[in-house]
Amino acid sequence: MNMVLPRFSVQKSLAWWPAVLLAALVCAAVFAPVLAPLDPDRQNLLGRLKVPGYESRGVTYWLGTDELGRDILSRLIYGARISISVAVLSVLLSGIVGVAVGMLAGYLRGWWETLLMRLVDIFLSIPAILLAIITVAVLGPGFFNVVIVLTLTRWPRYARVAYGQTLSVGKRPFVTLSQAMGGSVPRVLWVHILPNIIGPVLVVATLEFGLMVLFEAGLSFLGLGVQPPTASWGAMLSTGRNYVATAWWIATFPGLGLFLLVLSANLIGDRLSDTIGKGR
Amino acid sequence: MSLLEITDLAVSAGDLPLVDGVTLDIKAGEIVALVGESGSGKSLTALSAIGLLAEGLDVTRGQIRFNGASFLGEGAQDLGQVRGRDLAMIFQEPVSSLNPLMPIGAQVAESLIVHGVASVAEATEAAIDMLDRVGIPDPKRRAQQLPAELSGGMCQRVMIAAALISKPRLLIADEPTTALDVTIQAQILDLISALAKQDGTAVLMITHDMGIVAEMADRVCVMYGGRIVEQGAVEAIFTAPRHPYTGMLLRTIPRLDHPPKQALFAIPGNVPSPKNWPTGCRFNTRCDRKSGRCDAVPALTGDQHRTACFHPLSEA
Task: Specify the DSSP element, H or E, that contains A119.
Answer: helix A110-125
CB A67 within 8 A of CB A239: yes
Q: B70: which strand partners?
A: B65
Q: At what angle are helices B152-164 and B182-199 packed, to 10 degrees?
A: 10
Distance CA A103, CA A189 (A): 7
Classify the phi-psi angles of A109: left when phi > 0, otherwise alpha if psi is within -120 to 50, otherwise beta. Answer: left
pLDDT digits (tens, 9 = 90+) for B249-270: 888 888 788 888 888 888 888 8
| Tally of residues, chain A | 280
From chain A, pick out residues whose CB is under 8 angstroms from the CB of B111: 181-182
- Amino acid found at B61: R
From chain B, pick out residues whose CB is under 8 angstroms from the CB of A109: 55
User: Among B199, B167, B196, B202, which residue's Cα sits nearest to residue B3?
Assistant: B202
Global pTM exceeds 0.95: no
Q: Is position A11 within any domain?
A: no
Q: B219: which strand partners?
A: B32, B233
CB B98 within 8 A of CB B107: yes
Segment A165-193 shows an average pLDDT of: 88
Is the pLDDT at B144 greater than 90? The verdict is yes
Q: Is position A182 within any domain?
A: yes
- The model's confidence at residue A107, banded by pLDDT at 50, 70 and 90, is very high
Percentage with pLDDT > 90 across chain B: 24
- The model's confidence at residue A70, banded by pLDDT at 50, 70 and 90, is confident
Q: Is position A15 within any domain?
A: no
Q: At what angle are helices A17-30 and A72-108 packed, to 10 degrees?
A: 110
Is the pLDDT at A2 greater than 60? The verdict is no
DSSP conformation class of A50: P
Distance CA A23, CA A202 (A): 18
Q: Is position A209 within any domain?
A: yes
CB B208 within 8 A of CB B38: yes
- The model's confidence at residue A280, banded by pLDDT at 50, 70 and 90, is very low
From chain A, pick out residues whose CB is under 8 angstroms from the CB of B77: none
User: Among A125, A127, A104, A126, which residue's Cα sits nearest to residue A115?
Assistant: A104
Q: In sequence order, what DSSP letters do the residues of chain B get, joined into one string?
A: -EEEEEEEEEEEETTEEEEEEEEEEEETT-EEEEE--TTSSHHHHHHHHHT-PPTTEEEEEEEEEETTEE-SSTT---HHHHBTTTEEEE-S-TTTTS-TTS-HHHHHHHHHHHTTSS-HHHHHHHHHHHHHHTT-SSHHHHTTS-GGGS-HHHHHHHHHHHHHTT--SEEEEESTTTTS-HHHHHHHHHHHHHHHHHHT-EEEEEES-HHHHHHH-SEEEEEETTEEEEEEEHHHHHHS--SHHHHHHHHTS--TTSPTTSPPP--SS-PPPGGGPPSSSTTTTT-TT--GGGGSPPP-B-SSSEE--SS-SS--
The reply to whether B132 touches chain A by the CB within 8 Å rule is: no
Q: Is position A205 within any domain?
A: yes
Distance CA B182, CA B292 (A): 43
Name the residue range of residue A121's domain: 20-276
From chain B, pick out residues whose CB is under 8 angstroms from the CB of A112: none
- The full set of domain ranges for chain B reads 2-86+168-307, 95-167
Strand pairing category for B16-27 and B2-13: antiparallel
Q: Is position A157 within any domain?
A: yes
SS3 A60: strand
Give the number of domains in chain A: 1
A41 CB contacts (<8 Å, ≥6 apart)? A70, A229, A230, A231
Mutate to test the interface with B, among A109, A167, A178, A202 (most CBs of B within 10 A): A178
Distance CA B203, CA B218 (A): 10
Distance CA A236, CA A253 (A): 9
pLDDT digits (tens, 9 = 90+) for B112-124: 888 888 888 999 9
Distance CA A130, CA A45 (A): 37
Q: Is position A259 within any domain?
A: yes
Query: Reduced to 3 DSSP states, what percent helix, strand and coil does chain A have, rounded to the nearest 5?
Result: 75, 5, 25
CB A47 within 8 A of CB A54: yes
Which chain A residue lies closest to B147 (C-alpha atoms)? A174
SS3 A55: strand
Angle at A252 between CA A216 and CA A242, to 5 degrees: 85
Is the pLDDT at B21 greater than 60? The verdict is yes
Q: B174: which strand partners?
A: B206
CATH H-level, domain B2-86+168-307: superfamily: P-loop containing nucleotide triphosphate hydrolases (3.40.50.300)
CA of A105 vs chain B CAs: smallest distance (Å): 14
Peptide bond into A229 cis (omega under 30): yes
A198 CB contacts (<8 Å, ≥6 apart)? none
Q: A64: which strand partners?
A: none
A94: CATH: 1.10.3720.10
The reply to whether B217 touches chain A by the CB within 8 Å rule is: no
The reply to whether B127 touches chain A by the CB within 8 Å rule is: no
pLDDT digits (tens, 9 = 90+) for B150-200: 988 889 889 989 988 988 899 999 888 887 788 888 888 888 888 888 888
CB A170 within 8 A of CB A104: no
B4 CB contacts (<8 Å, ≥6 apart)? B24, B25, B26, B49, B64, B65, B66, B67, B170, B202, B204
Mutate to test the interface with B, among A108, A171, A181, A188 (most CBs of B within 10 A): A181
The reply to whether B100 touches chain A by the CB within 8 Å rule is: yes
Classify the phi-psi angles of A58: left when phi > 0, otherwise alpha if psi is within -120 to 50, otherwise beta. Answer: left
Which among B96, B102, B111 has the least Cβ separation from residue A181?
B111
pLDDT digits (tens, 9 = 90+) for B44-98: 998 888 888 887 888 888 888 888 777 765 555 666 677 778 888 888 888 888 9
Percentage with pLDDT > 70 across chain A: 94
Q: Is position A267 within any domain?
A: yes
ipTM: 0.74
pLDDT of residue A222: 85
For the range A27-30, what are the long-range contacts, defined as Cβ-Cβ under 8 Å and sequence gap of 24 or more? A28/A77, A28/A80, A29/A77, A29/A80, A29/A81, A29/A83, A29/A84, A29/A85, A30/A81
DSSP conformation class of A246: T
The reply to whether B115 touches chain A by the CB within 8 Å rule is: yes
DSSP conformation class of A230: S
The mean predicted confidence, pLDDT, of chain B is: 86
Q: Of residues A277 and B167, which shows the higher confidence score?
A: B167
